[in-house]
Structure formats: structure tokens, C-alpha cells
Structure 1
Amino acid sequence: MVDKITPNDSRIQYNTANLNGVTYSYILAEPSGQALNTIFLIHGWPDLSLGWRYQIPLLTSLGLRVVVPDMMGYGGTDAPEDAKFYTFKRAADDMAALAKHIGASTIILGGHDWGGAVVYRIAMHYPQLISAVFSVCTPYMPPTTSFVPATVFPNFKYQLQLKGPEVEGNIVGEEKIRQFLNGMYGGRGSNGEIAFDVTHGCYFENLPKLGPNPLLSKEELDFYAQRYAIHGMHGPLNWYRTGELNFEDEKEMAREIEKQGYKFDMPVLLISGSKDAALPPRLSEGMENWFRSLTKGEVKTGHWALWEKPDEVNRFIAEWLGGKIKPRL
């Protein structure tokens, strides 16, 4: 049985910090002895900082100070209306500010889902701050010189629904949020009803029919629903409204990369989920060209790899950290 953090675990504390004018909530977990280094863990959608509950005990046992923010729009962090607060560049600037706030001169980064996309961008904008990066499920997608919406790809069709008004219009209030999250985490109906697929999005009519999901306990699901109910769904869904904003932020960077090339200097690990419908391993083909040191692993799991196969994911992370990283203050 893999150890995990619970919502009210004494091994963690929830802190807040004002970062570039926005209040962030973040989990802080300290190792038993002196911290050798600091690691930031960045969650995705629809998740929270507690999404890293199976990884936090492992990382503190390795002597790491663990910092896990609720990202913009989620949980105890502010949820501005404007989508400009949810861009990669804004997330990179805020995470650099959080590192400064806690006094970390270098950090390791881990990300999942949207968090995986974010950690690559933090490493590009702040390479001197980042000593190593790992991403679970999310491959690297380079900046582009022309805008291509993600929704042109079949595995990202669901994003058309998420960026529009339909989800936040239907999922209002704590009970509806609980039903929605239960479905997103794998709850099924007695006749095989599902909540979501990548070619469509959410099937709202199915949500009341679903049994308990296999990945979160009742206590955990209640905690998630309560934290999402603080701000509602608009903030988390804003991450899907940033495509053109991210493109505008990055087009000059993309032109420079076209002229001069680019490689990440720090070591990077990608752990793919072989059954991930949204982010299948084939999306990482050719990724090697962007990195001086890239390690790839694959786990037989779907998108919620951190929870479905925590022992295998943790083994990859621990072996890679031990083999590639020399912890330092």
C-alpha cells in the first residue's frame, strides 16, 4: 500500500502567499531532516494540490521540501474572471515568485496534465531556477509561429465544450460539482453510463446516475467538492480559454527558436499513461529533439496515473531523481 496524504493530514500545512497581486494557497510538506532541495508539484484539470497526495510522502522521504500550489482559479487560490491570468507565462512568473517567497534559489519541477504543460514553460522562462523537470502524461509541445487551436485534433475535441459556457452553466453548487468530479474520476452508472469522453466532453444527463468513482474516497471527494465550490468552475475552465493568449505570448520566442534552435539543458523525465485517451504516448514522438537529457517511461494506466498506479509512477520518479539529480540547497 502506497502512503498518501489525507485532506487534514498533520504532515502538511496550507499556507498562502501574494504572488504578483494574486493570493495563492499552497501545501508545504517538510522532510524529517534538513531539506536537500525544494520540489514544486503542479496539478492540472480538474484537480487540486491534493492530487499529489501519493507523491508527497515519497518526496519528503527523499529529503525534499515539497511545495504544491492550488493553481490559478482552484481551491484556496484566487480565481480572477479574466483569462489572461491563466496563461503559461503568468503561471511561470507566479511560480518563480513563489520560489522567491519561500527562499528557494533552485527548484525541481513536477507536473501532471495542464501542470505538465506549465512546467516546461517555467523551465523555458526561468532556466536558471529549474534544476530538473518531470511530467506525468503531458508531452512537450513547442511554441509555434502560427496559431493552431488544439481542438482541431480528435483527442482534444472536448475542449470546445470546456472553453464555452456549457460546463460552468450546468455545474453550479457543491452537489453538482461533486457529481461532476465523481464522473471525471471514473464513476459509472449501472448500465455503463459515463460522464465524459475526449471526443464530446461531459454528458450532463448521466451525472446523477453514476456510482462512486474508484479513485477517491468519500472524504477526498467531499474535500474536492468543497474546495471547488469556493469559486465555482469558471476559473478552472479559464485554462481552456488561453490558446490564443499563449500563442501571442510565445510567438516571438517561437521565431527565435526557428532561427537558433532550442534544447532544454536540465534533465527531464516524461511518464506517459499507455491508456490515456487525451494524452496518448504517441504525442511524445520526436520529443527527444528538444532535450539534452530526456528519460521516458510508460505506465499501463489512464489519465489519472498519479492515483491509478502510484507505486509505478513513484518508482519512476524515485529512480530518476536518484540517478539524475544531485540535491542541493
Structure 2
Amino acid sequence: MTVKHPEAPPLPAPPFPEAKFADINGIRLAYYEAGPRQGIPIVLCHGFPELAFSWRHQIAALAAAGRWVIAPDQRGYGLTAGPEAVEAYDMEHLTGDLVGLLDHLGVPKAIFVGHDWGGIVVWQLPLMHPDRVAGIIGLNTPFIPRLPMDPIQMFSHAFGEDMYIVHFQKPGVADAQLAADVERTMRYFMRLPSSTVEAFSGRPAERRSLALQDGLARFDPAADQSQLLSPDELAIFVDAFKRTGFTGGINWYRNFTRNWEKAASLPTRVDGVPCLMIMAELDVVLPPSLAERMGDQIADLEKVLIEGSGHWTQQEKPAEVDAAILDWLDRRFPL
């Protein structure tokens, strides 16, 4: 299934719920809740460097459709606490936070929706906490079985030491680079796509290394015409990351090896829950091709392609994402 609509001006940001707090899993977690408390809740899990606010359009649409929707600022982000220890950001803690949120709300199961790093986390939930999962929606991020070798070694071998995930392993380095000018950093990240996946793949190897630090150094905000966010939306992200810095989010990346080691005993398939994979045509970091083999590991899977969208799909194409999620929910989890 492909979702495509005529180009339209960006939607204004809808009203955003007030923060609520839950003391769970050793931290104070902030979350935002909307819609009637009925049926199975939908939990929206953001990526890097984002916030629960990244889901502002989906929160409004789901609540208007009568759905109970919850979006946390995840561990180390926004108004949620960020522990100092790197290992406090491993998959056991990240999935445990979501299970703890369900316990706090008094609900047995939820439908989890994850984008970017949030997608990595929600695809682990049916493997680590299958009794708490009613359904999974991956946005851009596909389910990827455990790799045959340490992911950091694999990324280093394939892309070199400057690839951003490998670069993030150096204590404090990327943290300081991103925090040096938070507004510039967020403007660099939150841009509309400038290339197709095919064009990106055709670049010389040194220009496909995903060396974030080099791109950030070359970025000229004054000449950039590809901004995704309005000034008011940008200010929300900038204010949040000025307050927290980027270390909490980067620490998620610093657990790739730890997570890989601890996943050796986990199941390799997602069975027993319906799943939806929403792909973005122009996402060069998580291209649709990564989802081609998902049907081999997931028994109940549907796929949707959002045309014309880069990496920040729920913010770039909110109407299309809302429609895809609601169509699937109405068929698989009718109210």
C-alpha cells in the first residue's frame, strides 16, 4: 500500500497536552496523554534527537478519533530524568520504562508505535515483554533480527570510524559538538529530504559515510531552505536540548554492543501480535529496502509506503501517517 496526497502547506501544530509524571523503573518519566481512557492505549515512542512533541499531530488525530494515546519523553529526553551511567540506557531499561508506564496507568497491554530509535525499542518489546504487547507499528525503523556480529564493529567496517554511530561511542565528543550551538544542531537535523535514496546510494563512498559531525560543520543555516519546523516548533526542541544536552540520547547508541550481547537468548521472530510497518520513500538512513525481509520474521505484517517523505515522517507527512495508523487500528483494533 502506498499513501500519497497532493502537496499542501505544513499543518500548524495542534494544542499539546500538559505533562504528567510517573516514578517508574528508577526514574521520573514525563508523559503526555490525550483521548478517552477506553480501549487499548497507543504509546508513541520517539527517536533521536526528538521528544514526545514530535508526535503532536498523531496525538491530536488519534484523540479526535476516540483513541487513548500516550507519548512519553523517553529516558534522557525532555522532562524525563537522565541517569548518569551509560548502562542505564540499555534495552532492558528502555523497554522497562514502557512496561513501567503501563503499570503506572494500570493497563495490561498497549499498541506501541516507534520511530527511529523508538522503533528499535518497540520491536524488542514483543521479544522481551510479549505479555504486554497488543500490537506494534514501526515508523521508518524495521524489525531487524540480531546481527551476526557486534553492530559497532559492523558499522565501523562498513562505513568507517566517522560514521555517526561509531563516532558516538567516543565519550563526551559528540555530546559537546551537538551542544555547542543547539539551535544550529536542531536546524541541521530537522530538515526536509534533499535527495532520493537512489541518488544517495550513488554518491562516492566518502559521501555515504553518514559522518554527522562533518555535515554539521559544513552546515550553513543562513543558506538553508529545507527547514521542517516552524520557528515556534523549533524553539520547543531547542529549549529542551539546551536544558538536557544530548548525552542521554547518545547513551542509547553507546549500548549497541551491550544490547547485542544480551540479546543472544531472545527470540528471533515476532509472533502472536499484529504489526504494521510504515516506510518513508526518501529516508536515506532507514530506506524502505531495509524492510524487504520483515515478512520472514513476522507472522502478521502489513506495510505502507509514504511517498515524498524523508526521515522525520510523522512530522513531514502527518496526514498520511495519521491515515495509515488509523486505518490499521480501525481494522485490527476496532473500538
TM interval, shorter chain, is 0.7 to 0.9
Opposite residue 291 of structure 2, the aligned amino acid is S
- Deviates further, 148-157 or 136-145: 148-157
Distance (whole Å) between structure 2 residues aligned to residue 216 and residue 52 of structure 1? 13
> What SS is found at the alignment partner of 2:130?
coil
Counterpart for residue 185 of structure 2: 180
* CA distance 1:222–1:280, shift in 2 (3 Å): same
- Highest RCO, 1 vs 2 (Cα 8 Å, sep ≥ 6): 2
Question: Residues 234 and 197 (structure 1 numbering): CA distance in 2 closer, same or farther, change over 3 Å?
Answer: farther
- Percent identity of paired positions between Structure 1 and Structure 2: 27
Equivalent position to 1:113, from 112, 116, 137? 116
2:137 corresponds to which residue? 134
Structure 2 stretches of 5 or more lacking a match?
1-8, 194-206
- In structure 1, the residue matched to 2:281 is 274
Query: What SS class does the counterpart of residue 283 from structure 1 fall into?
Result: helix
> Residues 144, 183 of structure 1: CA spacing in aligned structure 2 closer, same or farther, 3 A cutoff?
closer
Residue 169 (str. 1) matches residue 180 (str. 2)? no
Does the residue aligned with 1:18 lie in a helix, a strand or coil?
A: strand
Q: How many residues align?
A: 307
The answer as to whether partners of 1:158 and 1:197 remain within 8 angstroms in 2 is no
CA distance in structure 2 between the partners assigned to 1:105 and 1:186 by the alignment:
38
Tell me the residue number matched to 2:150.
147
Conserved? CA contact 1:13–1:29, under 8 Å: no
1:220 to 208, 233, 248: 233
**1:311 aligned to 2:319?**
yes
In 2: Cα distance, 1:142 partner to 1:215 partner: 32
Among 254, 264, 267, the alignment partner of 1:241 is 254
Identify the range of structure 1 (147-156 vs 19-28) with the bigger mean alpha-carbon deviation.
147-156
What is the RMSD computed on CA atoms of the aligned residues? Answer: 2.4
Q: Tell me the TM-score normalised to structure 1 length.
A: 0.86
Give the TM-score normalised by the residue count of structure 2: 0.84
State yes or no: 1:302 paired with 2:310: yes
Offset at residue 127 of structure 1 (A): 1.4
Q: Which residues of structure 1 form unaligned runs of 5+?
A: 189-195
Q: Within the alignment, does 1:45 sit opposite 2:48 as a pair?
A: yes
Conserved in 1, the CA contact under 8 Å of 2:35 and 2:62? Answer: no
Change in Cα spacing, 1:241 to 1:81, as seen in structure 2 (3 Å) is same
Asked whether 1:206 is paired with 2:215, we answer no
SS at match of 2:124: helix
What's the secondary structure of 1:265's corresponding residue?
A: coil
User: Cα–Cα, structure 1 residues 122 and 5, in superposed 2: closer, same or farther, change >3 Å?
Assistant: farther
Amino acid at match of 1:199: L
Quote the Cα distance in structure 1 between the aligned partners of 2:23 and 2:105: 12
1:158 to 2:178 alignment: no
Structure 2 distance, partners of 1:159, 1:262, is 25
**Residues 247 and 299 of structure 1, relative CA distance in 2, 3 Å threshold:** same
SS at match of 1:230: helix
Hey, what's the Cα distance between the residues in 1 that align with 2:208 and 2:241?
A: 21
Q: Distance in 2 between matches of 1:277 and 1:153?
A: 16
Q: Deviations over 1:151-185 (max 9, x none)?
A: 24449922122333432122336xx1111001111
170 and 229 in structure 1: CA distance in 2 versus 1, 3 angstrom threshold: same
Query: In structure 2, how many angstroms separate the alpha carbons of the residues matched to 1:187 and 1:126?
Result: 35
Alignment pair present for 1:75 and 2:83: no
Following the alignment from structure 1 to structure 2, what is the Cα–Cα distance between the partners of residues 160 and 216? 28
Report if the CA contact (8 A) 2:34-2:70 is conserved.
Answer: yes
Q: CA deviation at 1:37?
A: 2.3
1:24, 1:177 → 2: CA distance? 23
CA shift for structure 1 position 307? 1.3
Using the alignment, how far apart are the partners of 1:197 and 1:159 within structure 2?
13
